[in-house]
Amino acid sequence: MMIHRLLVANRGEIARRIFRTCRALGIATVAVHTDPDRDLPHVTEADVAVRVESYLDAAGIVAAARRTGADAIHPGYGFLSENAGFARDVPAAGLIWIGPNPEAIEAMGDKIRAKELVARAGVPVLSGDRTFPLLIKAAAGGGGRGMRVVTDPQALGPALRAARAEAAAAFGDGAVFTEPYLPAARHVEVQVLGDAGGRIWILGDRDCSIQRRHQKIVEEAPAPGLPDAVRAALHRHASAAAEAVRYRSAGTVEFLVDRERIFFLEMNTRLQVEHPVTEAVTGLDLVAWQIAIAEGRRLPPAPPAMSGHAVEVRLYAEDPAAGFAPQTGRLRAFDFPAPGVRVDSGVEPGSAVGVHYDAMLAKVVAHGPDRDSAIRLLADALRRAAVHGVTTNLALLRAILADDDFAAGRVDTALLDRRLPAWTGAGTGHTIRKAALAAALGAAVTGAATAPVQARIPAAWRNVPSRERVRTYRCGATAYQVSYTSRGGRLESSWLPGVRVVRADADGRVVLDDHGVRETYRVSVAGGGADVRGPDGAYDFEAVPVFTDPAASVAAGSLLAPMPGLVVAVPVAVGDRVAAGDPVVVLEAMKMQQTLTAPGAGVVAGPIAAVGRQVAAGEVLAVITPPEAREPADAPESPGAVEPPGVPAPVAVTPVVEPSEAAPVAGRSSGIAAASGGVALDPSSGG
């Protein structure tokens, strides 16, 4: 049963990771892709590639395998990886299925049945009583979809309806169940590996407690600070769960750990997103073992010993300061130059990040002899990384690794919610101001060097030498009014007391002296802004124009799309009366749903973006007028575009700020509300 050509029924990062093992084993590779993914690296790196309508098109994927001469299919994680029907279809087509037996997938795929099954094997489970707070979960899937936390009994009915609808849309099954919500518990999981002969390996444990919206973003192995008795019990219960379904291949048993108490959550019958940390501490290639087991190979009597500690972070195209809204764009740079770290990515410089799939760009993994060493290595890798062109959670990840609670191993599933304001505000001080100054200086020198006319005029020259030139740059939600001038052909700035400009070169190098400490910045002018890489990290700065386009004005009460996405539901109609917080439009981007709600009581004024329409970030989706306001006589005909009533606002001119007054200013507030309601994550996003 030797495998010679393998098709990966997946995309992006996990497809590339599986291909890497295939190349090491001498196995030819087949990629599948949809139209939005046709230029991604996983397509170009495979030996051959086939277009499919969807990564959920089981029949199309099997046909692609037959057509390309593949003799095996690996599902990766998400999509069809836990689909028992697909696991049966693959062998029925004469192909080798790289994954667990369909019976195990079926038994563990229904979370209600899985709890009953493991409980009979002596594994402790959470009861389904109605003690508040409680958690509503989808019975047929995971990844955060169909999941709601309910703290108030009055909110239970609406939350159940929303969870059922979300679960039905995601998994084709609206069944949900409830369990007590333990916000101070830890999320700890155990990696298992089983062969066809019934031998089960326990390959240690992982802590995955740092989560946003029930989706992991930091994982580490082994789980820090567990008492020996708790760790031994976790391994024992994981083994019992795997043996209960005669588990074969790689899988993960997930638990909640509340001090000394342990509760079974679920079993993921597939490879986990966070499997690299287990590979780092065991020295195993779990994909290679999945292939070997599918070929009929048996596990040795005992697994290898664990060594050291590993930490992984997930890099997402999202804005943590804006409710983790997915972000799109084209990557101008994607570079992790630090040695000694593993980067599993689905993108490269130039890749387009769209709205169709999960927002994860990469996983960055560091392994060291102990936890402190691994964290230090990973933190350094994130500091040196340059990811430009798309807003990401990179700064948040750096803040997490620098946090005292995280460093001490004091983690639980609610830690991110408690610390988010501090973690997202970590880059708004002196450090980022120096980067903003470097951006302005680098842009000035580059602009002067490349000017098509008057190229001999010095950078930052002006005919009113008593005032410094002012340029405004925005990074995230904060704007910085940077002032600088040219004296004797040299750039100077009094914007930051104690910071002196040493040099600014046309090649993008800017050197600053901060109270006697010299720092070098690399600036790349890009479009209307500048990408800056400095000693404390990388930043994207957007240049704020001096003159504001009056066409950019929108009517008061407008609901704007917070991200590019697809309109999937509009529960209101023009003329309906709504109360503050009522849902108006539901958007989906990167398989995450976001509900836009009414900013206040009023009447829905047209037009409303139609269901099925793709909208751009910042586009007006609807307007809520106060109840006493008169509705406009004529609504604009262009769908999704609302002209502001009355006379356009006059052109706004950014005032020149005296150097002594120049300081970061708060991000402009439009007074436009876009509240987030229910959230659903892509079933392709894995565990």
Residue 519 phi, psi dihedral angles, 5° rounding: -130, 140
H or E element, residue 228: helix 228-244
Q: What is the pLDDT of residue 677?
A: 38
Residue 475's CB is within 10 A of a number of other CB atoms, namely 25
Q: What is the pLDDT of residue 662?
A: 34
Q: Say which residues have a Cβ less than 8 Å from residue 8's Cβ, sequence separation at least 6.
A: 14, 15, 18, 19, 29, 30, 31, 32, 42, 46, 73, 74, 75, 76
Q: What is the pLDDT of residue 311?
A: 98
Q: What is the pLDDT of residue 638?
A: 36
Q: What is the pLDDT of residue 673?
A: 35
Q: What is the pLDDT of residue 298?
A: 98
Per the listing, tokens 């287990």 go with 278
Q: What is the pLDDT of residue 545?
A: 84
61/150 Cα distance (integer angstroms): 39
Predicted structure pTM score: 0.82
Token output for 123: 């594994």
686/271 Cα distance (integer angstroms): 8
Instruction: Give the domain 183-424 fold.
Output: D-amino Acid Aminotransferase; Chain A, domain 1 (3.30.470)
Q: How far separated are the first and last CA of the chain, in Å rounded?
A: 30
Instruction: Give the domain 551-630+638-653+672-687 fold.
Output: OB fold (Dihydrolipoamide Acetyltransferase, E2P) (2.40.50)
Q: Per-10-residue mean pLDDT for the chain, 687 residues long? A: 96 98 98 96 98 96 98 96 96 98 94 92 83 78 73 83 74 77 90 97 98 93 97 98 97 95 95 97 98 98 97 96 89 93 97 90 98 98 96 95 96 95 79 95 86 56 68 89 89 95 94 97 90 94 77 73 84 88 82 78 84 83 77 41 34 32 34 36 46
Per the listing, tokens 């409710």 go with 323
Secondary structure in 3-state letters for 50-88: EECCCCCCHHHHHHHHHHHCCCEEECCCCCCCCCHHHHH
562/597 Cα distance (integer angstroms): 12
Alpha helix stretches (DSSP H) within 317-429: 371-384, 394-402, 404-407, 415-424
Q: Choose which CATH entry (3.30.70.360, 2.102.10.10, 3.30.750.24, 3.30.700.30) describes domain 430-544.
A: 3.30.700.30
The CATH class of 127-181 is: alpha beta
H or E element, residue 107: helix 102-109
| Segments making up each domain of the chain, as ranges | 5-98, 127-181, 183-424, 430-544, 551-630+638-653+672-687
Token output for 342: 């593993």
Per the listing, tokens 């219960």 go with 237
The answer to whether 555 and 569 are in contact (CB under 8 A) is: no
Residue 565's CB is within 10 A of a number of other CB atoms, namely 26
The answer to whether 677 and 583 are in contact (CB under 8 A) is: yes
Per the listing, tokens 């046909």 go with 63
Domain 5-98: assigned CATH number: 3.40.50.20
Token output for 86: 């697909």
Render the burial of 330-369: b for 16+ CB within 10 Å, e for the rest. Answer: ebbbbbbebeebbbbbbbeeebebbbbbbbbbbbbbbbbe
Whether omega before 626 lies within 30 degrees of 0, making that bond cis, reads: no
544/79 Cα distance (integer angstroms): 41
Token output for 570: 């509009």
Residue 599's CB is within 10 A of a number of other CB atoms, namely 20
